């Protein structure tokens, strides 16, 4: 074997994003994937087949998405919404307005007893937290004549980024991808809690597991499910490391 061959055949390195994704899959489906390196380079379809073999859910011909939606609807009733107003097509923004979305998101999580994806930062808040300090310090040097070197501006900016991110936490109220409607949010919740819901209600497995895995990957990668092909390889085709 040449040195070149050895380099090609060596085990892939599991990056932080890939590691976090495999951990999320284990938590959602209640399984142990073993050595994560052995799954790198395989497709989502292949991984779904592994999940199906590893799981021990009872078999049942039930629609878990519908079951999750009804559970979500009961959780939303604590905010005073009649059942008739909460339908799969109902916009979540209508039920969880921006001003109190973080509080209601936590209350809904507590009522459901399930994991919910985190609310996201709006792009402007994230950009402001990351680039605001260096912009302000640059303006202080340029317009106010404060003697700051480039090195000191960069150093102070790094120190100020973390406090800026913490200060912007209250603005993290953007709904995760796929959660715009109550039906979509139910699908995201099912993907994040498949083992808990399937153990209680049974599972049809097969295509249902593949769909739930694609939805989970989409949620974790902040993508739409349409962007996650069953034949996408992890991590290469997801552009993660």
Whether residue 7 is contained in a domain is answered as no
C-alpha distances in Å from residue 39, one per residue of 27, 57, 124, 159: 16, 22, 36, 38
* Higher per-residue pLDDT: 205 or 100: 100
Domain interval for residue 150: 123-171
Q: Considering its fold, how many domains does the chain have in total?
A: 3
Residue 128 shares a structural domain with residue 221 = no
Q: Does residue 38 contact residue 57 with C-beta atoms inside 8 Å?
A: no
Residue 47 shares a structural domain with residue 147 = no
Q: Quick one: angle between helices 150-167 and 123-143, nearest 10?
A: 150
Lowest-confidence range among 26-35, 57-66, 70-79?
57-66
Residue 69 shares a structural domain with residue 110 = yes
Whether residue 38 is contained in a domain is answered as yes
The pLDDT of residue 1 is above 60:
no
Q: Does residue 206 contact residue 198 with C-beta atoms inside 8 Å?
A: no
The predicted-structure confidence for 146-204, as pLDDT tens digits, reads as follows: 777 777 766 666 666 677 666 667 778 899 999 999 999 999 999 999 999 999 999 87
Whether residue 159 is contained in a domain is answered as yes
Residue 46 shares a structural domain with residue 156 = no
d(CA 72, CA 185): 9
Residue 157 shares a structural domain with residue 86 = no
Residue 198 shares a structural domain with residue 209 = no
Whether residue 1 is contained in a domain is answered as no
Whether residue 29 is contained in a domain is answered as yes
């Amino acid at each position: 074997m040449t040195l070149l061959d050895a380099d090609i055949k060596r085990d892939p390195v599991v990056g932080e994003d890939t590691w976090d994704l495999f951990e999320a899959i284990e938590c959602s489906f209640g399984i142990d994937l073993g050595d994560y390196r052995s799954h790198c380079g395989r497709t989502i379809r292949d991984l779904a087949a592994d999940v199906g073999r590893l799981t021990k859910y009872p078999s049942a011909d039930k629609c878990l998405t519908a079951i999750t939606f009804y559970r979500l609807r009961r959780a939303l009733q604590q905010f005073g919404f009649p059942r008739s107003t909460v339908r799969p097509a109902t916009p979540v923004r209508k039920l969880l307005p921006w001003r109190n979305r973080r509080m209601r998101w936590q209350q809904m999580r507590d009522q459901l007893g399930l994991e919910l994806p985190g609310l996201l930062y709006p792009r402007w808040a994230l950009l402001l937290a990351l680039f605001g300090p260096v912009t302000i310090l640059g303006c202080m040097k340029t317009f106010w004549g404060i003697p700051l070197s480039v090195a000191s501006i960069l150093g102070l900016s790094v120190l100020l980024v973390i406090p800026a991110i913490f200060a912007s936490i209250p603005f993290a109220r953007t709904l995760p991808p796929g959660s715009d409607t109550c039906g979509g949010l139910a699908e995201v919740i099912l993907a994040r809690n498949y083992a808990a819901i399937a153990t209680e209600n049974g599972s049809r497995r097969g295509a249902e597991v593949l769909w739930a895995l694609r939805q989970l990957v989409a949620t974790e990668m902040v993508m739409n499910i349409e962007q996650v092909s069953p034949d996408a390889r992890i991590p290469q085709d997801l552009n993660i490391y």
